[in-house]
Structure 1
Amino acid sequence: MTGPGTGGFVGMSKDPAEIEARIGQWAQGLAEKAQRYQAAHVETEQIRLTATSGDGAVKATVRADGSLTDLVFSERIRTMPLPTIASLVLSTMQRAQADIATQVGETMAEHLGDEDAETRAELLGNLRERFPQPPDEDEVEAADEETGKKWESIESSEEPTPPPATSPGLSAQSPSTGFQPPAGFSPPAPPPQRPAAPRRRPDDDDDFDEESDPLRD
């Protein structure tokens, strides 16, 4: 019998009893190795990594595969613009994910020792490539602050839309009663106003006749 993992059988004597004993030892070694790998797998599935933003506004928890399991916001989040919140959530998740390769490597070393060092190195290298170290938190906060200023500038530049002008008379629909006039209805025109009579001044009475004054004696 030749091939990977069967080097112990090369040069083995032809004694049937010895062959059977060697095969039993080999099978037992495979079973024990499988148990160690299973234990490492179970413990890896239970790994949870948590990171909190520097200001305490966001706390994120991830699994060993990088998926999010929990996300907690503090009251500080209420005063932040939406772009800042999104950026803060992503950066906090990345900080939690950055420790996945280290934690998985420690778990495998605990259960497997130095077994399959090449395979484990390749696995951990893939994890480090998927979940690299995030940028420095000061850089993220500076970017968030700049994004918040741009957001506030956009909000302050937005002016409220003035209400549409309405003409005197009946409106298309009364806001208090909800009355809807029939199709083709137009409000009646207001009645014309008579011009006011001009006021007479005392000096305009040029034709006043003192002889006809009834109060004269």
Structure 2
Amino acid sequence: MSGPVGSGGDAAAGVDRWVAEAKAKAQRYQAMQAAVAGVSVTESSKDGVVTVTVDSAGNLSDLRITDRVRELSGAQVASLVLTTVRRAQARLPERLGEVMAETIGDDTRTRDTIVGNYRAKFPEPEPDPEEAAAPPTSQVREKRLGELPEEEPAPPPPARPAPPPPPAPPARPAPKRPAPSNDDDDGDDGMEDRSFLVRG
């Protein structure tokens, strides 16, 4: 009778061991669920205008926009938000894989299945043409030497004042007449005398 009793004891011990392992595994999965539920990913746009946070389900849980958004159009803001959210969601599979490795590291099959489902649901986003085309608001536009911005035409040169009229030529002095000689005086005197005599 010792044989059957011993066999029954070994079976019971095996069941107890299996139950204990199942309980431990269940506890690990409960810990994994709690850790996964607390996972969140925060991502910012390349220019730092938009910052988003998504939870473990990929839902947007926080959104922050800086005052520099005033420099962008509505379409650019919407594109920035969507692209940043998709980038945050695409980081979820990696983050969940890290959490699951810490809790159920020996169950690689379950981990790979869950991470694969997340990768299929949240793939890497395509580059956003709006974000690639628009430079950061803090970036200064590079100018080449001599290049003028199209939106800021060069001011016209100041009008030159009219040149002053040329100065008048200096007045030329009148030519000097030669002084009369003594001989001429004598001749005049003689004529005057003769005229006097004629009149008398």
TM-score by length of 2: 0.61
| C-alpha displacement of 1:143 | 5.5
Q: Report the counterpart of residue 17 of structure 1 in structure 2.
A: 9
Is 1:92 equivalent to 2:84 in the alignment?
yes
Shift of 1:114: 2.3
- Deviation for aligned residue 1:61: 0.1
- Bigger radius of gyration, 1 or 2? 2
C-alpha deviation, 1:49, in angstroms: 0.4
Per-residue CA deviations over 1:84-118 (Å, capped at 9, x if unaligned) read: 11110000001111110001111111111121x22
Unpaired runs of at least 5, structure 1: 1-12, 146-217
Tell me by how many angstroms 1:140 deviates: 4.3
Secondary structure of the structure 2 residue equivalent to 1:134: coil
Query: 2:131 pairs with 138, 141, 145, which one?
Result: 141
Partner in structure 1 of residue 160 of structure 2? none
Identity, in percent, stands at 38
Q: Displacement, 1:71?
A: 0.2
- Letter paired with 1:51: E
**C-alpha distance after superposition, 1:160-183 (max 9, x if no partner):** xxxxxxxxxxxxxxxxxxxxxxxx
Q: Which runs of 5+ in 2 are unaligned?
A: 136-200
TM-score using structure 1 length: 0.56
Structure 1 pair 140/106, CA: closer, same or farther in 2 (3 Å)? farther
Structure 1, residues 162-206: CA drift from partner, whole Å, max 9, x if none?
A: xxxxxxxxxxxxxxxxxxxxxxxxxxxxxxxxxxxxxxxxxxxxx
Letter of the aligned partner of 1:86 in structure 2? Answer: A
How many residues align structurally?
Answer: 131
Which has the bigger relative contact order, CA under 8 A and spacing at least 6? Answer: 2
2:97 aligns with one of 91, 105, 119: 105
Whether 1:120 and 2:111 are equivalent positions in the alignment is yes
Counterpart CA distance in 2 for 1:28 and 1:142 is 56
CA contact (8 A) 1:59 1:72 kept: yes
**Residues in 2 aligned to 1:53 and 1:26: alpha-carbon distance in whole angstroms:** 50
Aligned-residue Cα RMSD (Å) equals 1.9
The secondary structure found in structure 2 opposite 1:72 is strand
- Closer/same/farther in 2, CA of residues 29 and 114 from structure 1, 3 Å limit: same
Q: 1:14 Cα shift?
A: 7.0
Query: Which aligned segments of 4 or more residues in structure 1 are displaced greater than 2 angstroms?
Result: 117-120, 142-145
Instruction: Confirm or deny: 8 A CA contact 1:49 1:62 kept in the other structure.
Output: yes
Q: Distance between the aligned counterparts of 1:126 and 1:98, measured in 2?
A: 12
| 1:41-60 matches, cutoff 5 A | 41-60=33-52
